């Protein structure tokens, strides 16, 4: 699909507009498969296949503050990752304020279920599934990874998710989150119930949690750096395998762009981590 084919979104901030322009300018990937996992245009995904697949599959969710974004934003990541043998899937989801929590999380879980059912037809292994995402997408990926509830509701095997790779993700909402305003995807104030339900740190279930490779930029938003540290500490305390990658000299948006740059450390680090984690 093209961005013009989607329904209108909220206006982008200047930083968001700059990021979109940079991401789309870097887009050198052509999806091998475009598929729908639901009726809404945003309930779609794109599969990028390597010439020589190693089996690992990374399902990745875009950012955009829960109100913006397209799966096409993440296509720039595909060439470097498929060069490592990784099957890369960029998945969209419905956006706020039209769709409130947990609508988009349901979409992300449905996208994962589609991949599990169909990815073997496209060279990937359904036994080597990983999820990741940038910013809001990293939040959704983390929430899928810390508990089995969203996976088992779709009949997915308990151990289907081998790991989670959030980039500049959000792990906590509410008074201690460091956010100046309540994100609109949470809907009206309800005494903190939705904030708790949407917070990966509050939902962490050690027995059901997948391993994590947590990434953020060294110049990322301060509250997200703090949250990443809290998430890593909570995972270690729960004896869940976790590694942290800090991308030098990257702000929030540059951290995302670095994940598609084969000359930067993240691509090789992520590919090695996925291979090692899948083999464990």
pLDDT at 29: 65
pLDDT at 280: 87
pLDDT at 31: 78
| CA dist 253 → 18, 158, 212 (Å) | 9, 33, 21
pLDDT at 114: 98
Identify the CA nearest to 48 among candidates 64, 35, 38: 35
Mean pLDDT for back-to-back runs of 10 residues, the chain (280 residues): 90 94 84 93 96 96 97 96 97 97 98 97 96 98 95 91 98 94 95 97 97 98 98 98 98 98 96 96
pLDDT at 78: 96
Residue 1: CA count within 13 A, CB half-sphere: 22
Domains of the chain and CATH, by start: 31-279 (3.40.50.1820)
pLDDT at 168: 98
DSSP one-letter string for 161-183: EEEEEEES-----STTS--SS--
| CA dist 215 → 38, 46, 50, 246 (Å) | 30, 23, 24, 6
- CB 67, CB 10: distance < 8 Å: yes
146 vs 161: CA distance, rounded Å: 10
15 vs 237: CA distance, rounded Å: 36
Please identify which residue in the block is written with the tokens 């309800």.
190
108 vs 154: CA distance, rounded Å: 11
């Amino acid at each position: 699909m093209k961005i013009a084919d989607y329904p209108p979104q909220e206006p982008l901030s200047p930083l968001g507009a700059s990021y979109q322009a940079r991401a789309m300018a870097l887009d050198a990937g052509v999806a091998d498969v475009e598929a729908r996992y639901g009726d809404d245009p945003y309930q779609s995904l794109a599969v990028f296949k390597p010439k020589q697949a190693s089996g690992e599959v990374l399902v990745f969710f875009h950012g955009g503050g829960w109100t913006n974004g397209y799966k096409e934003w993440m296509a720039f990541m595909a060439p470097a990752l498929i060069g490592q043998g990784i099957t890369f899937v960029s998945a969209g989801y419905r956006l706020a304020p039209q769709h409130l929590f947990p609508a988009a999380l349901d979409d992300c879980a449905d996208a994962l279920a589609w991949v599990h059912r169909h990815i073997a037809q496209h060279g990937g292994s359904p036994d080597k599934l990983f999820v990741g995402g940038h910013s809001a997408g990293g939040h959704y990926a983390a929430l899928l990874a810390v508990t089995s509830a969203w996976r088992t509701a779709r009949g997915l095997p308990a151990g289907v998710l081998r790991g989670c790779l959030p980039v500049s993700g959000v792990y906590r909402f509410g008074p201690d989150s460091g956010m100046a305003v309540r994100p609109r995807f949470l809907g009206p104030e309800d005494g903190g119930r939705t904030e708790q339900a949407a917070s990966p740190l509050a939902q962490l279930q050690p027995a059901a949690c997948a391993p994590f490779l947590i990434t953020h930029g060294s110049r990322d938003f301060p509250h997200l750096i703090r949250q990443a540290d809290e998430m890593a500490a909570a995972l270690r305390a729960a004896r869940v395998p976790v590694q942290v990658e800090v991308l030098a000299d990257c702000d929030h948006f540059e951290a995302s762009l670095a994940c598609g740059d084969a000359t930067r450390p993240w691509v090789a680090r992520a590919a090695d981590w996925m291979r090692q984690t899948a083999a464990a």
